[in-house]
Structures are given as C-alpha cells and as structure tokens.
Structure 1
C-alpha cells in the first residue's frame, strides 16, 4: 500500500532497497508506504508488528540498522493535509540509522484515542529509554513495559503534556505564576532522589552506599545538569543523569513562529554552534519549498559553519584541559576563539548568535575586505594549534589523566546513539560531510579524523584534528568563492531581494507578505541531518500548508550522549567521571531544548 505524504516534490519512484527487503520478509500488507520530500524511506506499521520489524532491522537483516537515531511523536488531531495516510490521533515516529548502508529508515505507528499507549522498545534499543520518557512527558503517550516512565524535561509536579495541540503555546494564555511557600516545599520534595525508583540499593549486608548530587549547579557539570552518583567510597557503582533544568520549549515555539522568524530560536539550541544551528532547519525548509540555492550561498554557509566548528572546539579544548588539571590552555584558547569571533562579526554583524542564514540564502552578501580577515585567521591558527599540541596533548600529566579513561567501542556508541567525534574516536569514519554531502561539501577536499582508543584522550585528539581540517575547508572557500547572488530567485525565499521590491509589484507583494505573515510552505514532511559541532543534528518539519510549522522536532546529539554516561562510567572513580564529562562536549540547551 502507498500513500502520498506530500503533494509536491515527493519521490514516487521505485521503492527503496530497504523497503523491498521488508516487503520480502513481512509482505506488503503490514505496511503503508509514505512518500516524503526528504526521500527517507518511510513506512507506517501496525503496533502489533512493530517489535518484530525492529528486531529484524537491528539483528537479522544484512547490514543492520544498529542505531535508533531518533524517536518522537506528532499530535495529528488538527492536521488537515494528510494525503491518504492512516487515520491517527497521534503518531510515534522511529528513525533508524545503518552505518554500513549509509541509510536511514523511518517507521511510524498510528495511535488513536486521547491518551494512547504502545509497547516500549527499550528491550530492543537501550537508548529508547530517554526518548520514550520524553514522548510521554510532552505528549502523554504511554509506553507499556518501560522500566521507569516518568517526566524527563519537566518537573514531576508539572500538569499536562505541552506538545499536545490543546496545550497553550504562549505565556499570556496562562494564569500569572505564583510561588507560595507550600508550593516551593512541594517542588523541593519532588527533587528528592529515591534510589529504589531506579533499581538501586542503599547498601549491602556489609556497608551502606553514599548518594552524591553532582550538580545541577557545579562547574564540572558544564551547565544545569545533575548527576546522582551511587558511591562505594570513591568508586561509582551507578549513576542517574537528571536533565530538563534548561528546557525552554523550543519545539512548541516552532508551532507559533513563522518559518522565517523561528530562525533566531535555532541559534539558542547549541548556543556555541551559531549559524550551524540555522543550517539543518534552513535546508529542511528549502526542501519543503523546492528552493535550490546558488553556489555562492552554499560556499558562504560552509565557510561560516566551519568557523563555528573551530570556535566550539576551541572552547571544548580549553575546558577539557582545565577539567583534567591544566589551567593555562583555556586562557590562550579563549583569545583565539575571540579572534575567530572578530571575523564572524565582521561578516554577519553578530558574534555568538548571528541568526544569519535565510530561507533561500543568507542575510546579505560578504562585506568588502572579508577575504583579508579570513586569510589572516587561517594563517594564524595552525601555529597556535602546534603550540597547544606541545602544551596539552603531549603533556604527560594530561595523558595519564585521560588515556584509557571512559572507554567505549563502536558497537556501544551505535547502541546509545553516539555520533560526531565521540563515534569517530572509536574508529568509525562516519561523517555526514563525506557520507552524505550537503550544501556543497562534495566539492571540498578534506579528511575525516578518527582514532581507535575510544577514550577521553582520543575524543580530544579527534576534535583537534577536526579544527585543522576546518581550516583546510575555509581556505578552499577563500580561494574558490563563487560569484553570483546571495539569495535564490524563488518566490518563497524570505525575505525576497530588497532591490527588486521597487521594480515590480509582484516582488513587493511577496516581500510584504513574507515579512509580515511569513511564507506559506507547501504541505509536506521534510528533514535534514548535518554534521554539527557535537555530532549529528537534525530538524524534522511537518507543514500543513501554513505560515507556521505544524510540527518542529529537533534531534540533538547531546541528548543521546548524556544518556550513555551510566553505561560507560560504572566502576570508575569520581575524577574519571569529571574527565569523561569534559570529553563529551555537550551544551545543556542542546540537551533540553
């Protein structure tokens, strides 16, 4: 069976290889094939068959889908343009990734009722734990058999499930907030850690365990992040990561902002990634609109993204050294980071949060003299990296504190959804810029750094070499910047070129509507992955033919990386946990959204 999940631009050709394999194994009757703009093979499956399909994809099929890349949900109740898809009040969406195939598959389960339920898949993919908790927290969908289904983004005392369509999107729709003494006491009591809830014992016949709160406000926690440690002396018996202290409802905001005005919100997800946060969102929107941007736009976007990869990695490098005991490097690296921001500010007008990419292009063309600033920086930084190599990576104390600490292999990384440098430090060379080039990366010559140890030290080594490769990419942008416009000539480009608004009435009208109401995107479904600073970041967008998104889902790498912590750190000492946290390179806004 097939259904057109998108009216325009959908791929309605021969079914994808993985779809043919599933049809061959299970027959066509359990599935409904959906065509999508992003051309990710998408199949609706009955929840009674979901478990066996997932087990087949993970454990039986050749070149299996070892990673549960994402799991989310959609409230379908107000959606008008469904194009013959299965009837549903809610949809749970599973996206799997196969490194061997360099391919994805998206499975959907249609649910009916106000508060539906379906079986948990934690027994198949361990990292489904947090994703299912998040879906229950924000949608009210129950996963039967989940080991501990409770809120993860919101406080335990929270009422309602915010990503349901009946839940208000604006603060003005709520009563004024008041915090009484009684309510404050109740909130504090809700934060009390109960070991039995997490399957932990308070002690043995011979000794008692100590439970230690690391965070949520602690310099080594790198943000508002809480880890509750079960300790036998200084040895970590087990731990529970506790997130949500930085949750701001970014996905809910996507439902009330126009396609254009949501761009600045993307900057605040991984707030160290700058315009790199804009890119997956912009590319997903451009797929919906059918916009092909000029080569100059692609190259400018790549150049700015690599600048932000360098600024993010420099901050990581300095704080990593600081967490394992070296104080000096962080000061020098922040100086170099500011030099990069000087170039970014000269080009975009802002430093950390430029919100500079636009639907169909960038905000304005490169300014006069940009090439000199860029050249000066890419000639300056390599010498500094050589100095840091001697001061940090070749420092015997740093090596002793980080080599062999918090090791995991490629199989573990895939099980927990680890991507980016954390995956490449285990020996896998999977990098989307090479594996699935986007925005013109296929035109650039660069290497994908890898290591083999999969420990704290190797995760740093990979990022340092990534900075060198970013310099290499930026040099190619500098030397081969294409001529041409900085925006696409397309009616949904927002805003349209200002200089044309005084030449013809159609452009003037489009400009007015695009800026005041926002562009109207064709109904459909689209997504885009990119190789962000901390791993793979993606946006999954559903348009219902409106000026706003019907569903905006943000898959961030840091969310997956923090869930992995207990599996890696059990049996280690507290100082090793601090080194491990430093090596992950996460931002809590990237986790909590």
Structure 2
C-alpha cells in the first residue's frame, strides 16, 4: 500500500495524537490507511479528524459493520466479534482514511460528531445488533423483525425457515407496529399552544418518488418538522452478495439503483479487480466510460422531466422520454439490454462493440444538443420554474458535507468535487470535460447542474466515439478468463482449472478493497471483504441516496408542503438506492 504525502501526514497526526490507542495499521489492497483504534478514543479520533487536524476530514462517507464469524484470513487484525468501520474523506487533501473498531456488540456513537452517522449507526444496529449506547430504532427492517439479518447466523433464504402463514393475529400486530407516535420520537405535537397536524406523506404518493414515507408536523401549510421513514424497498442486497459468486453478483448491482444501469457495476468491479491485481485493457475501459455516461444522461433526463412535472410543467417529461428512447437504442444495440444490462465483467466487458455502433452513437450526439437548448428555454428559463425553485431548499457546502451529500447536490453549493476529476478511474483522466457547479445550493441550482452535466457527458461520449482504441475487451488473467477451450480439450492440466472456474466460480484472493466512482447521484462505493473463496465474506454498498434523504429533517422545517415537493424532487433519489 503506497500512500501519498497528504494521507501519510494525516496518519502520522493520528499516531501522534493517540499513541498506543492506535492499535494496528491493517495492510489491505486499499490506497489509503486502515487503522484500528481502541474504544476509548473512537469518538475523540473522529472529532480530531473532523475538527482539529489541518485540512480536516469533513465527510463521513460511510459507516458499517462486519461480522467476523467464521472468517479465516485476519492476519494482523485485533480479535473482534463485530468490526465497526468508518470511512472519512478530506476534500482538501483528496485523501481517505478508514477507522476500525473491534467490538463484541457495543460501540461508542459518533452521531454527535458527524450528523449523518445517525442513520448509519441505526443501520448497524438493525443489521448487526450493535449497541451504540443510545436509543436506536430499526431503520430498514420492520420493528417486529426477529434477529439481525447481516449476522452470519441469520438465515439467508426463506427455505431455511418453516413456511410462512399469514394469520389475522399476525396481520393485526404488523398493522399496529406501523403506527408512529411523534411524542415517542421526541417530536413536538403543538406550537404556540396550537396542535400540529400530523400528516403521513407517502409511502404511496407520486411526489415521494417511490415507497417512501415522511411523517410531517404541519402548522397550516408550514412544515414544522419532518421525519423520514425508509425501508419499504429493502431487498437484502448485501446479504445476497454473500451467497452469489463474484461474477454472479454483477446483475444484482444493476438493481441497487435501477436507473443507473452499468454505473453501479463499475465500483463493484473496481474493488474486485483491485483485489485480484487485474489491469483492464484500454478498449474495455473506454467502453465502460462511454456506457456510464450514457446512463448518466438517461438518469438526468428522467430527473429533469419529473422535476419540471413536480412543480407544474407537464410537457417536458414527454419530450425527454423520446430522448431516452434514442439513448436506449444505442445502449441496447451495444449491451443487448436496456435498464439492467449486466454488461461489465471482472477484467473488462462481456463482448465487443457490434458493427454499426458508431452510427447509433453519432445519431444520438447529433440529436441531443438542440434538445437540451430547447429544455433550457422550456424549463430553466421559465418564470414558473424559477418561482418554484430559486431559494428553495438551499444549503451551503459545510452543511452538505456534514450530512454526507455528494454529487450534483454538493456541486450545486459551489464545491467542484467530482471523483472523475479528483481521483479518476477507468481512464477518465484522458477526457476533456468540465465540472458544472452552482452557487446557491437550492432546487434551481441542483437542476441546472444536472442539465449542464448532460452536455459534459455528451462531450465524453463524443471523445469515446472519436478515440476508441483497438485491442482486447477483457484482461487475459486466470481469475477472469478461463483457459482456451481448444487447449481444454487436449490436456487434463487445462481441463481441471477450466472445470473448476466454470462450476465453482472465481476465487478472489483474501483481503479487502474498495471501489469508488462518481455515480449519477454522487459517491457510490463498494467495500468488499474476501476470505479467499468464490463468494464475498462482506460486501458493503455505499449509495448516495441513503445519505441524501437523511438531511430532510434539517432542510424541511419552514417550507410549505409545495416547497417540500420541489425539494424532494431536486434530491433525485430512487428508493432502491436508499434501501438496497
């Protein structure tokens, strides 16, 4: 693990400050330090890195747990039942650091230091049963759920339990469990002696963009408080990763964010390839970049149209679906699918570009610029749209980082942090494009940033079209490419590895690695743990939407319900990305 000067100085400052409380520095395949701390300095270390160190780490990118039960390859790591991990990022240093805590089920809370740690700690309690010494509610699972699903002892398939029978008694108990009492949440039920109206906004409401509920306390039309309730779309994707082969999990990544297509495949594969030591060929890298930018445009068009629709403009979304069909024509011709192509592979892509792909891509590049100009006039220049979005839901850069906001929501505040520029992967460093930013951090700027990003994506796609290199589309590596079939038919030494790889799957070397990309919604990160087998020991999926929804209680008070609808639309989330 080779660390740059900015990362090394942060690690040294941590050592100097906490001395022997820094228990170990774990060797991993990461490009950043992974440090084990003793429990008594867990909170102080986070406070030090966030507030006291020069060029601090203001972004808690993720916080999650690992059940160490049955894990064989843990050389150099302290004994632990459940390991708690926090991943911090310094934009000023362009550096990451990961802190780890060995626990037997109890851990200090850092929710008072990083505001967005609250939901992550609730998730660690929900999935692993970690006790943070504060009142913690389940966040993804129903309140009546028995057990903690990501523990190794918890069943993975319904067939491992007796057949489920819905009884009247069970149904009534589940219904009662869904009732939420604001007083139990510490939320006021009155203001200035007047009782507040408590409104369930969702989970079935078109303006919540999915099965998402917000409990609102209203004084007339004014929002006094908002309490988001998620988990209705939870499917246990991280649990599924533990029982799929490394290749077999690729189609599941498409469905984490069902509008992102191959974008969610990329960080997962970057992590696996890092562990395997695989270098992806240039042609495969450029194909990956081109398809990712197609899906960025596809997502942003859907956002653009529905954002306009949510504030009263009906026409734009219909025009933009025509554009999306044009893009899908090219995507489907290349990948064979539309929304869920599962096209990327460990070491490259599934197949080469088909004959005639250039014509379809060129047609789309010729089509879109004039359409974006029209949407500028139709939406962004509209007096109605500006009246409904300018100054609404505004926040600054510090607030955004404190709540884990990345992507267009962060760049709308004026911060130009984009991983494609800051730490490029897959050859993004070879492309000429700009990073659009805003200044107010409001609903309007979040829309304008995404509109401008589509123009930059078109520039990247055009460069792919004009500079696509020749060469292989998959790495010639034993962990990704089986031995040639002809050789397999002639000698047993080739037949055996071919048979094992095809039946058991790729065995990824033991270790830990992380893949990060600038997704269409922000920082998307996969942190994987391999125990040397054909399956993941732990796959942690950091999605931007989960972090972005958590800020609603901070931003919503003082808005009208109509403004809240505009703000929710401007976040651009999908509940599959939130709940996983």
Residue in structure 2 matched with residue 24 of structure 1 by the alignment: 16
Residue matched to 1:404: 391
Q: Which of these residues, 308, 311, 329, is aligned with residue 295 of structure 2?
A: 308
Q: Does 1:439 align with 2:426?
A: yes
Q: Could you tell me which of 77, 80, 91 is aligned with 1:88?
A: 80
- 2:269 paired residue among 272, 278, 282: 282
Q: 1:458-469 to 2 correspondence within 5 Å?
A: 458-469=445-456
Q: Are 2:123 and 2:138, in contact at CA under 8 Å, matched by a contact in 1? A: yes
> Which of residues 400, 405, 409 in structure 2 aligns to 1:418?
405
Going from structure 1 to structure 2, the CA distance change for 1:432 and 1:248 (only over 3 Å counts) comes to same
TM-score (norm 1): 0.95
Unaligned regions of 5+ residues in structure 1, if any?
Answer: 1-9
CA distance in 1, matches of 2:493, 2:345: 20
Q: How many residues align?
A: 579
Native 8 Å contact 1:494 1:515 kept in 2:
no
Matched, 1:74 2:66: yes
Between 1:197-206 and 1:324-333, the stretch displaced more is 197-206
- Counterpart-to-counterpart distance in 2, 1:352 and 1:548: 26
TM-score, normalised relative to structure 2: 0.97
Match of 1:4 in 2: none
How many angstroms does 1:506 deviate by? Answer: 5.5
Q: CA deviation at 1:515?
A: 2.7
Mapping 1:171-190, distance limit 5 Å: 171-190=158-177
Counterpart Cα distance in 2 of 1:397 and 1:506:
71
Shift of the alpha carbon at 1:11?
4.8
Cα deviation code 1:227-259 (max 9, x no counterpart): 000011110000100000000000000000000
- The CA distance in 1 between the partners of 2:385 and 2:95, in whole Å, is 38
Work out whether residues 213 and 226 of structure 1, in 8 Å CA contact, stay in contact via their aligned partners in 2.
yes
Q: CA deviation at 1:208?
A: 0.5
Looking at structure 2, the residues matched to 533 and 13 of structure 1 have their Cα atoms a distance apart, in angstroms, of 28
SS in 2 for 1:186: helix
Alignment match, 2:568: 581
Tell me, in whole angstroms, the C-alpha distance in 2 between the residues paired with 1:570 and 1:503.
72
Deviation at 1:179, TM superposition (A): 1.5
- Counterpart of 1:234 (choices 200, 212, 221) is 221
SS, match of residue 194 in structure 2: coil
Give SS of 1:144's match: coil
User: Once the 2 structures are TM-superposed, how far is the Cα of residue 499 of structure 1 from its aligned partner?
Assistant: 7.7
Measured against aligned partners, the alpha-carbon deviations of 1:308-363 in whole angstroms (never above 9, x if no partner) come to 00000000000000001000000000110111011000000000000000001100
CA contact (8 A) 1:11 1:36 kept: no
Which of 172, 187, 211 does residue 198 from structure 2 map onto?
211
1:548–1:34 distance in 2 versus 1, CA, 3 Å:
same
1:167 aligns with 2:159: no
Give 1:125 shift: 0.8
1:537 aligned residue? 524
Verify: 1:374 aligned to 2:366, yes or no: no
Q: CA deviation at 1:30?
A: 2.9
**Stretches of structure 2 lacking an aligned partner (at least 5 in a row):** none
In 2, are the aligned partners of 1:215 and 1:226 still within 8 Å (CA)? yes
CA offsets 1:112-141 (integer angstroms, 9 cap, x no match): 2xxx11221111111111000000000001
Change (3 A) 1:498 1:202: farther
Pick closer, same or farther for the CA change 1:295–1:498 going to 2, 3 Å: farther
Aligned counterparts of 2:391 and 2:165: Cα–Cα separation in 1: 50
CA offsets 1:133-178 (integer angstroms, 9 cap, x no match): 0000000011013xx4010000000000010011111121111122
Structure 2 SS opposite 1:107: strand
Pair 450,364 (structure 1): closer, same or farther in 2 beyond 3 Å: same
